[in-house]
């Protein structure tokens, strides 16, 4: 009788231990799956960041080209502006007395 109770207790302990082992395996698989998915998301976002940085560098280069003095002078010539040949006449600001009389 005592051996039977001991065997029953051992079987129960063995079943509980096996159940805990299976549960721990499932939890580990679930956690590793979540980690793997986050790793893929991280790689995707890293590639997106690289692409955006390349686009930003290209835009900065274009901005530097378009704002260069050489480009501005070329576009001004295309729009019909001519180079300054005579000095500008300076116009003095009106004095307060002449403004008051007008």
Is 31 part of any domain?
yes
pLDDT tens column, 30-80: 988 888 878 788 889 999 999 999 999 999 999 999 999 899 989 998 998
Is 32 part of any domain?
yes
Is 40 part of any domain?
yes
Report the pLDDT value the prediction gives residue 86, as an integer from 0 to 100: 78
Instruction: Please state, in angstroms and as integers, the Cα–Cα distance from residue 67 to each residue in 17, 59, 74, 79, 87, following that order.
Output: 74, 12, 11, 16, 26
Is 65 part of any domain?
yes
Is 92 part of any domain?
no
Is 21 part of any domain?
yes
Region of residue 80 (phi > 0: left; psi between -120 and 50: alpha; otherwise: beta):
left
- What is the tally of structural domains in the chain? 1
């Amino acid at each position: 009788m005592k051996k039977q109770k001991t065997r029953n207790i051992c079987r129960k302990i063995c079943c509980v231990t096996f159940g805990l082992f299976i549960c721990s395996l499932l939890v580990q698989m679930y956690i590793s799956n979540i980690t793997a998915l986050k790793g893929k998301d991280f790689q995707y976002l890293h590639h997106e960041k690289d692409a955006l940085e390349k686009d930003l560098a290209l835009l900065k280069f274009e901005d530097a080209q378009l704002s260069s003095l050489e480009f501005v002078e070329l576009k001004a010539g295309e729009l019909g502006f001519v180079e300054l040949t005579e000095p500008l006449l300076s116009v003095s600001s009106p004095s307060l007395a002449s403004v008051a009389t007008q």
